[in-house]
A and B are shown apart, each in its own frame.
Chain A
Amino acid sequence: MQSLLMWHVLTHFCYIFNHKPCFSYKKLQRRRESSAHTMSNSDQTGNESEMYVMHEICSSVKNMKQLDFSVLVRRANQIKEELKQGVKKPYRELIDVSWGDPHRTGVKPLSFVRQVLAGCLYPQLLESNRLKVDVRQRAQRLLETCAGGSVGSYSDTAGLTQTLKKVSEFITRRDGGVPSHPDSIYISPGSQWSLTNILNILVNPEASPKTGVLVPAPSHCVTTQSILGLGAEVLPYYLTEEQGWALQVEELQRAFDSAKGVCKPFALYIINPGNPAGGVQSRKSMQEVIKFVSEKKLFLLADEVYQECVYGENVEFLSYKRVLAEMGPPLSETVELASFHSASKGLIGECGLRTGYVELVNLDPSVLKLLDNLFSTNSCAPVLGQLTLDLMINPPQPGDPSYPLFYEETQRIRTTLIQNVRQVFEVVNSLPGFSCQPVEGGVFAFPRVYIPPKAIQKAKEVGMEPDTFYCVRLLEETGVLARPGSEFGQKDGTHHIRFCIMTPQHIMEELLRRLSIFHTKFMKEFS
């Protein structure tokens, strides 16, 4: 039986690499005709924009309107400048919790990781006793896996051979022995890049009806933008907030059915643990999803970058690969799955190094070959990032000289996270007009703001979404930068904000203090 993807590939083969991109530019015929004329006359009459050979016209572009958030970012940058110049404000510094970026908020990088990477970049450091012996040994070992013993050399497209091997061993360990093979793994500069590549293969922008991808609502905007940008349709399935943002299969069915006459659903994107909704799926829920995708013949895209961030005693992260494998044949051999992970999240938090990987399950080998070609248009992922992956999946062990410090640093981050999660839950839920589901996983809180009608009216007047309006006021009055829920997709009539909870403890306390004061004031003003 042909795999789904293979069928798709065969019927749309010519479009895989020849897709009509979203941002196409057309040359105005007038330009060519007029250029000879204007060149000789050195005369610059005419509309400025007609002069350009590259000129934006594609409709998909219009779909990708500038997000409200960039307005907030610009204002935040201005405020930073103003603060630097000593302009008086009710706060002395900004608290930027709009990204899932722990280092930005003040969480310190892990010493072991940074020491090894520094040693790899500048091997002279390995000659003295300045760095502990296990750091030096690890750096030596990693350098040996690089071509020419240097992080400056290219690696093979899919990644350094040794790193791929280590990643597959890690996956097998994590999944209780379910085997993983290096050949099905690709290391990429960040998980978004490989997600876009996979989507590139799945989506056929020429198709009529269009390709559809089911995505959760709320969902991280980069993913939805990528899908739209590739010329596909987004089919949102709403998570149930009152049940801790749980996924209901009936809702998946509804989303699937909504495609009739609009597009042909081809893939289901799921992010577990969630972003921005902080839920962690139970095994039962995951099995339902797997059965659903099998029945509807959908490709499963499982974004699992937050797998290390799980809180609460009864909560456990299970990978989709594991659950699938443990369901046994025929599902375990037929459901096509791509699972993503990265070093940007989790305790290591190295967003700026840009490294992640994708593991492909049950893909037809000829499709893998095509994917290989697609990945090789970008020589390889940054080598330093690949080495970071190795460090993430093989941390120091008890007995290693670096272990005590490593344990102390990671424990501190872990305890802080658990504390932050608890504090957010308590504080937000104690305020009227504000509620928050318990954050089981991920690095964000996504509380609901019950914005009063008067504020909604005001927001309309200034041409903003109500929660954007809330965030703008929050930024101006308290210096806290959070993201409005309207960016993520939410049920009509509901409003949310999202902020990162992976921050040092004192930052979280200060954040909650400012937020409480602001929120109470805001509610009063618009009551």
Chain B
Amino acid sequence: MMSAQVIPTGSGCLPSLSFARLVNVTRFCISDIDPNTSECHLWFVSQVLAACLYPDLLKDDSLPVDVRQRARTLLDVCEGGSVGSYSLTYSGIPLIQKTIAEFITRRDGGVESKPENIIFSSGLERALSLVLHLLSGGEGQTRTGVLTPVPCPHTLPMQLDEAHLEQVSYQLLEEQGWALDLAELHRALRTTRGRCETRAIYISNPGNPTGHVQDRKTIEEVIRFAASESLVLLVEEVFQDSVLGQEKRFVSYRKVLLEMGEPYSKRVELVSLHSLCTAGMGECGLRGGYMEVINMDPAVREFINILPCSGSPPILPQLALGVMASPPSPGDSSYETFMQEVLHVERTLSHNARRACEFLNGLPRMSCVPAEAGIFLYPRLDLPLGITEQAQMLGVEPDVLFCQRFLEEEGVCVGPGCENGQDDDNFHIRSAKPTALICVLAPPAALEEVLTRLRSFHLRLLSSCC
């Protein structure tokens, strides 16, 4: 149930350090840079937020004119003109709801999104937690179940547990680039008969951690499946803006649903989740996200509004979301710089994804499906018997042991696949593409460092076992 095998993330005292810097690539840190450089960060957002925090900055020309205009508009909708006031409604500031709805409508080619269906939350996990709690209920055989992909985001199993939900796993197909298979969904659902009452299906598209991008056909199939089995669709789409390469395109579940027309578009209940932790924004520390609810029972929707336990939502991340949903347009003073920064992130991500994947595939007993989107790579380890035996003796999962030793010996922290729900004999590790934002001077070089350390550790490990 509760995984006690958490890799230490970050500071900690290691006995003898053979490396100069500890590198943590389990979590996403796009802003992992020296503050004195401006590489790989979208400064427009920071400027607007800084001006909102400290409005004195609006008095002179130190910030571009569009930044100042934007900050003024946002401060106008804050109570008392300050980001320090409570937010009036639990769903969020109306102007931001409207901005996000407009963003969604634009992104989906005109498929309209209504502001009242947008609910803000401080981080994607809080929004998800809310919905999971709403779904939860029953005991024993009537306990609510949620169809969950394997692999899934590593906090999901814990959240399902916390909400007293049964995790009903459906395996994604590694051989097909981690695609979703309808037959597998049916199989998973069949296993729940008499065990629990499955009421929802969780989808991560583009996949976290797999990076797989679903095509329209698959999405339609899943929607029909959800409709016929009366499942609520919980769709997390955080990596939507980081699709690599030209072959695949992101299409949102809501767009497909609404374009399928009735009866689906009026019946299927869908919750789509998004947050500031995108590849582009990378402002994970600000803790901001939203969900759009479609076809939700009005009584439930109203209930969310009066829910006191969720607490008053913070202002700054809402403003950041508003900026994310409405970036500078052509003609704005910040547009050129902004677009350059966006392109730089895209190029770096794309380069690093390709490089790292090639590299990993070049190592013996390691294979990696190329990521189509997102910021993670999810390579598979073909661990020798020696390791698996050692792990068994120590009472940990083999991939956890791999990661622990990698940390101890090389100072690099990667995440074990078992935390993503992978419980079969195919061990995986999960590592975030550092996108070289870890190292200031030469972005790809930082990635090289990580890969080099990984290779030397991995080869050492294999030679010591075989």
Contacts and interface: CB of A to CB of B under 8 A. Distances in A.
Contacts of B267: 35, 51
Interface stretch (B45-53, B177-185, B376-384, B400-408): B45-53
A47 B309 CA distance: 31
A156 B297 contact: no
Contact of A384 (B28, B129, B285): B285
Contacts of A379: 123, 125, 155, 284, 287
A373 B157 CA distance: 12
Interface string B270-285: 0000000000011111
Interface string B34-49: 1110100101001101
Of A66, A104, A161, most buried by chain B (CB within 10 Å of CB) is: A104
Given A54-B135, A152-B285, A104 B10 contact: no
B213 interface: no
Interface in B15-40: 24, 27-36, 38
A104 B85 CA distance: 6
B344 interface: no
B230 interface: yes
Given A25-B134, A376-B158, A352 B53 contact: no
Q: Is the interface of B mostly helix, strand, loop or mixed?
A: loop
A55 B199 CA distance: 12
A98 B84 CA distance: 16
A485 B199 CA distance: 41
A27 B129 CA distance: 19
A146 to B, nearest CB: 7
A21 B310 CA distance: 14
Contacts of B51: 118
Contacts of A376: 155, 158
Interface in A70-87: 70, 73, 77
A24 B125 contact: no
B451 to A, nearest CB: 19
A36 interface: yes
B230 A148 contact: no
Interface stretch (A188-196, A234-242, A301-309, A412-420): A188-196
B74 to A, nearest CB: 12
Contacts of A377: 125, 129, 155, 158-159, 162
Interface stretch (B95-103, B110-118, B311-319, B326-334): B311-319
Contact of A354 (B31, B54, B122): B122
A39 B287 contact: no
B137 interface: yes
A297 interface: no
A509 interface: no
Contact of B300 (A25, A124, A378): A25
Interface in A437-462: none
Contact of B286 (A38, A222, A225, A382): A382
A395 interface: no
A154 B158 CA distance: 18
Nearest to A388: B84
A105 B287 contact: no
B137 A109 contact: no
A5 B309 CA distance: 23
A109 B81 CA distance: 10
A146 B31 CA distance: 10
B84 A353 contact: yes
Interface in B57-94: 57, 62, 78-88
A105 B49 contact: no
A104 B306 CA distance: 21
Contact of B125 (A19, A35, A378): A378
B246 interface: no
Contacts of A148: 29, 31-33, 437-438
Contacts of B14: none
Interface in A31-65: 31-32, 35-36, 38-39, 42, 44, 49, 51-56, 58, 61, 64
Of B28, B38, B163, B267, most buried by chain A (CB within 10 Å of CB) is: B267
A101 B285 contact: no
B53 A118 contact: yes
Interface residues of B, number: 97
A265 interface: no
A103 B84 contact: yes
A123 B279 CA distance: 21
Interface string B129-172: 10001111111000010000000000100110111100000000
Contact of A21 (B33, B88, B136): B136
A229 B307 CA distance: 9
Nearest to B28: A154
B232 interface: yes
B13 interface: no
B203 to A, nearest CB: 16
A125 B315 contact: no
Given A121-B49, A379-B123, A352 B133 contact: no
A352 B309 contact: no
Given A106-B80, A143-B35, A189 B227 contact: no
Given A23-B303, A384-B285, A17 B164 contact: yes
A53 B199 contact: yes
A215 interface: no
A140 to B, nearest CB: 8
A170 interface: no
A189 B311 contact: yes
B228 A117 contact: no
A179 interface: no
B9 interface: yes
A147 interface: yes
A260 interface: no
B345 to A, nearest CB: 13
A284 interface: no
B137 to A, nearest CB: 3
B309 A196 contact: yes
B189 interface: no
A123 B35 contact: yes
Contacts of B85: 101, 103-104, 351-352
A352 B31 contact: no
A385 to B, nearest CB: 7
Contacts of B144: 24
Contacts of A123: 35-36
B286 A53 contact: no
Interface string A426-446: 000000000000000000000
Of B50, B231, B266, most buried by chain A (CB within 10 Å of CB) is: B50
Given A146-B285, A377-B125, A377-B159, A154 B269 contact: no
A381 interface: yes
Contacts of A77: 88
A80 to B, nearest CB: 10
Interface string A362-379: 000000000001101111
B314 A105 contact: no
A341 to B, nearest CB: 16
Nearest to A39: B263
B283 A152 contact: yes
Contacts of A384: 285-286, 316
A521 interface: no
A147 B303 contact: no
A497 interface: no
A350 interface: yes
B395 interface: no
6 contacts: A117-B53, A126-B35, A161-B10, A352-B84, A380-B285, A383-B286
Sorted from nearest, which 9 A-B pairs have the closest CB atoms? A148-B32, A24-B137, A150-B31, A383-B285, A152-B31, A118-B54, A123-B35, A122-B50, A352-B315
